[in-house]
Amino acid sequence: MDYLRITGPSQLEGEITVSGAKNAALPLIAATLLSDEPCTIENIPEVADIHTLLKLFDKLGSKFIFEDHTLNIDNEAIDNTTATYDIVKTMRASILVLGPLLSRFGHCEVSLPGGCAIGQRPIDLHLKALELMGATIEIKNGYIVATAPAGLNGAHIIFDKVTVTGSENIIMAAALAKGKTELINVAKEPEVVQLCEVLYDSGVDIEGIGTDELIIHGTDREPLKLNSFSIIPDRIEAGTYLCAAAITYGTITLNNIIADHLDAVTAKLHEAGCRIETRNDSMTLYPAAKLKSFEISTTEYPGFPTDMQAQFMALATQAEGVSIIEERLFENRFMHVSELQRLGASIHLKGHTATLNGPIQLLGAEVMATDLRASSALVLAGLAAKGVTNIHRIYHLDRGYEVLHEKLKKLGAKIERLKE
């Protein structure tokens, strides 16, 4: 197993290119199941979660070549509609094959994802919506067994909560359903919007793209012809590097970004005292004279993303005054708190709210990565800490950050990837 050794403190300087968004690529690869013709997707990040999904596609009978960030995929010969436990347990987002497999083939079996480090994460809303579309859902031997032999029907669906992958699953299911599906309280994350745009460009009539109410006119099981497209930049990766610059009082430029997608993040960095300049598809962060404390409450897009909460907690350890961070989406997304405390952070946790006092001179220590974004918070803290920080279990980071240590090295960090 690999670990990261960071010797800090460092001051990042330079320029890097942001990779394609993992959370856009996953549903869009799943969407290729709606087609029986070859399709090309560009700018896919080479991260572990993508390889996990492709392993699942291989088992389904999909034919593909993935090289140089480009996926050429042909799902004409799919001969298996079961997503097995061994894959789903390593990546919950495997649930994204449920909607497209069911709508194209009329049946599928997908392992229930089970527990998760950041909270309970049920999928009841995905299942309830599919039932409203006429599917029969049973739970057997740990698997969701979904059937709709005559295909899915359009329906009027109100999501009780905003769910990202839930919205994506049902949008894909509705694309091949019979008739009109009305979706209310749909997630508006840029990754959901790109999914809608790609389906629209492929001939699916979708009204309301970018809003929380969609009307989707299904093709009645006529497979789609997906035109080639390129994955949008990863706003969470970009936000993580912006925090890395801010916490080290460095100046960095990010290429390949969509600034609008980062509004909630850049607004908080601005509050913390940083200055950000945007030009077309690039962005430069200039450091604060002295980082100031801030308050954050995570919520759905366009609000502050839960996927940036841990990184801002690392930043708050270096900000002058009391910062307050409230996590409203996931009940247990504070696993990084005790690891940041091992580096010396002053954090008081009560319920869903963390209160931090800063700035604190962090000191390097051995720490353990617990989930994807928690791990990146430890990297940021390690960059600011004095001495050596060893971060173990970095397979969590590999799930969603492409060559993180190489990008940070390019920015001047003293970081090595070593074997345990």
> Residue 164 is encoded by which pair of tokens?
């990202």
- Residue number, 283 or 329, with CB nearest to ligand UD1: 329
Distance set, CA 15 to CA 191, 201, 212, 262, 408 (Å): 25, 33, 36, 18, 10
190 touches ligand UD1 (CB under 6 A): no
Nearer to ligand UD1, 39 or 144 (CB): 144
- Return the sign of the alpha-carbon dihedral for residues 339, 406, 49, 229: positive
Q: Distance of CA 395 to CAs 4, 58, 399, Å?
A: 11, 22, 6
- Work out whether 329 is an interface residue with ligand UD1 (CB under 6 A): yes
Which residues 100-119 are close enough to bind ligand UD1 by CB under 6 A?
119
How many Å is the maximal CA-CA distance in the chain? 64
Q: How many residues bind ligand UD1 (CB under 6 A)?
A: 19
47 binds ligand UD1 (CB under 6 A): no
How many residues belong to the chain?
A: 420
DSSP per-residue string spanning 351-393: TTEEEEEE----B--EEE--SHHHHHHHHHHHHHSBEEEEEE-
Q: Which of 83, 125, 183, 186 binds ligand UD1 (CB under 6 A)?
A: 125
Q: What is the side-by-side order of every strand in the sheet holding 143-147?
A: 82-83, 107-111, 143-147, 136-140
Window 75-104: residues binding ligand UD1 (CB under 6 A) = 93
Region 251-310 residues binding ligand UD1, contact defined as CB under 6 A: 306-307
**Closer Cβ to ligand UD1, 235 or 249, answer by number:** 235
Give the nearest distance from C-beta 127 to ligand UD1 in angstroms. Answer: 7
Residue 199 interacts with ligand UD1 (CB under 6 A): yes or no: no
Q: Would you count residue 25 as binding ligand UD1 (CB under 6 A)?
A: no
Residue 274 annotated among the catalytic residues of the structure: no
Residue 164 as a binder of ligand UD1 (CB under 6 A): the answer is: yes
Q: Which residues bind ligand UD1 (CB under 6 A)?
A: 23, 26, 93, 119, 121-126, 161, 163-166, 306-307, 329-330
Active site residues: 116
